[in-house]
Structure formats: structure tokens, C-alpha cells
Amino acid sequence: MKVLVANLGSTSFKYRLFDMSSETQLARGGVERIGSPESPCFVEIGSSRTELRTPVPDHAVAVRTCLAQLTDPVSGCLKDASEVAAIGFKAVHGGRVSGVQRVTPDVLAAMEEMNLVAPAHNPPYIAAMRLLGEKLPEIPLVAAFETGFHNTIADRLRTYPIPHEWEEKLHIRRWGFHGASHRYIAMRTAELIGRYDLRVISCHLGGSNSLCAIRGQQSVATTMGMSPQTGLPHNNRVGDFDPFAIPMVMKEFGLSLHQVLDTLAEKSGLLGLSGISGDIRDLEQAAAEGKSRARLALDVFIAEIRRHLGGLLVELGGVDAVVFTGGIGENSRATRAGVCAGLSELGIDLDLAKNETHRGEGCLSSPASRAQIWVIPTNEELIVARQTKHLLEG
């Protein structure tokens, strides 16, 4: 079985193609600037890369263009497009609908109900899924919701202290996200250590950020709440924020509620704090040059990770492994060192020499550390491919 896993933006379509008989990646590719007169399209198969520029008016044409590249008689890896058993989507928020689902009108309606809390994610996915369902009815579409991994979290850790009818009617609760990444980390950590009853804190740090407490490969707590804007600071999204400050901002700056929410979702986080960039690499360089706001942004980021890590550590009653993943978790030595600093009394002791030179997957804890500290590159697409395969097989 071959599964194509899609990552959608409002004007982009990126994918990875997996052969699920061996769980190997056959190809990766995508289309950028959908709707422009010349959309860049690329496919990578092994060490070979093919590029072209052609008009791609919508996501359905983008998929057909990618399938044409994959079935090219000279450079492709498929004999026919019918070899693709399904397209799997790393869907973000379905509210009342979670887990792994065939894309149906009801699933799309459930996603639309959550548009206000996932404005950057749900609308482009809904539009593309609906279009693909109409124009490519021969290919099954499967939505693997990010919230699904967190369905095992107890109600006491998912419930906000709000009127009950708000939760009942509007599904306002701590849903949690980055489910595919945390699920992969749970499985891969168990494989590496050789134990399946581990207490793991998974630190997904990248463009958006969350921590997850995992026991026996199941989520027991996470830092994101009702929306992907919550929890830790993100590159341009606020993270945790007191809602009672919003009326003050509206009054002082003459802004509408929509404008304030847009600012919190697009111009806050590390970007808002620093006034420079939401990219950790830019901020580390700026801080080294003495720019105080960049330094503050990095300090706040690390402080928030440590604050939430402490809460998850208490919930687990200790930890067997702390895992860093995502673009920041895998590559920022300073972030890893900052998060682990001074935690040796809690059994978390980073080998600073290993941390300075490490690349790729590996263990960075010192011999004195009771908990193992790992860097593990995540593979969200493989998780979605597995979930899609399992759904199709019933």
C-alpha cells in the first residue's frame, strides 16, 4: 500500500509518499505559490530532484501535477496514479471529531466549527479537502487529527474552570496538539530504550511549541489548550495570555477584538517579544550581538519551557526520558542547555560537551543523570501514513 501524506497551506501543497509495506519514503515534493501564473513544483526521489514551473490554479491541480511527476516514465517512482491508496492529512482541530477519520461532509463541518480557534490551519485544509473530494473522488481522503493522541488525558487535566454549558455546547476544553509528533516520540523513545512503560516528557520545539507528558506511550498531559495559540510562546503566536488584558488593549490602541486576536496569533510570541524575528537562529545571533529584546525573548521562551516541564514532571511523578524534537529542539544547543540547567537534583543532567557537538538522533545525558536526555528528529508524516493505512485496513 502506498500512502501520500499532505501538508497544506493556503497557497502550498507539500507531500511525502510512503510504501507502507516497508514504511519507506519513496518521494517527497510539493507545489508553492498555488494560484500564481508560474507555480514552482518539485519532486525528490532518492538523490534525484526534478523541478518545473507551471500554472497551478488550485490544490486539486497541485495534486494532479505531483502525481504526474511521480508517474513520469523516466524519473517517476509509480507506474500509475492508482497505486496511491489514499491521501492522509495531518489535520489540526475537529473539535467534536477527533482521532482518524475518512473525510466526510460531517468531518468538514466539525472542522469549520473550530475555524475561530484554528484560523491559520483549518480554513486552508477544509478548502483543499473539499476541492480534492470533488475533483479527485477516486482517491480516499483521511484526516488524522492532532488532538487524537491526547484523548487519553484525564478530564481533571482537560477541563477549564468555566460554566459547564460552555464546554458542553462549544467543546471548550484543553485539546492539545502536535499529536503526530508526540506519538512518534513516544514510540521511538520506547524502541531506543527498550522499555514500553516509560515516563517521557516530549519537547516539540519549532515554529510552534508544546510539551507532552507521556506514560506507557499514552499522553497524560500537554501544554496546549483549546487552540494552537496557547501554552508555550511560539514563533509569532502568543502562547498563554490573560484574556482580561484584551479590553485594555482594545481601549488604549483603538483596536477591534478581531485586530487584537490577529496580533496575538500573528505578531506576538518570539517575534512580538524581540521586535526582530520569530526565528530562534536570528534571535540567538542578535542576542550574541547585545540586543536586549532578543535576549529577553530567548529568556522568556526557556523560562516558559522550564515552568511547564516542572508541572509535567510532578504529574508523572518523575521522568525516565526528556526528549527534544522539532527544528529548535533538534538544532538549538543553547535552548537544550537552558532548559536543563540546574536540574540535576531532579535527575536531569545534560552532558554539556555532547550537547555542543551533537547532530541527529542521540542521547545527551551525563552518566550521573537518572533520566536519559535525547534528541530525536520527529517523523509526523510517517505517523499519519500509519494511521491512514490502519483506517483503510479497518
Q: Is 331 annotated as a binding residue?
A: yes
Q: Is 14 annotated as a binding residue?
A: yes
Q: Is 275 annotated as a binding residue?
A: no
Q: Is 191 annotated as a binding residue?
A: no
Q: Is 379 annotated as a binding residue?
A: no
Q: Which residues contact 203 (CB under 8 A, 6 or more apart)?
A: 211, 305, 309, 322, 323, 324, 325, 326, 329, 339
Task: Cell numbers for 226, please give them.
Answer: 483549546
Q: Is 380 annotated as a binding residue?
A: yes
Q: Is 76 annotated as a binding residue?
A: no
Q: Which of 181, 204, 165, 176 is closest to 325 using CA atoms?
A: 204
Q: Is 320 annotated as a binding residue?
A: no
Cα–Cα–Cα angle for 132, 133, 136, rounded to 5 degrees: 65
186 class by beta-carbon count within 10 Å (0-12 exposed, 13-18 middle, 19+ buried): buried
Q: Is 281 annotated as a binding residue?
A: yes
1 class by beta-carbon count within 10 Å (0-12 exposed, 13-18 middle, 19+ buried): middle
Binding site per annotation, positions for ATP: 14, 279-281, 327-331
Binding site per annotation, positions: 7, 14, 279-281, 327-331, 380
Binding site per annotation, positions for Mg(2+): 7, 380
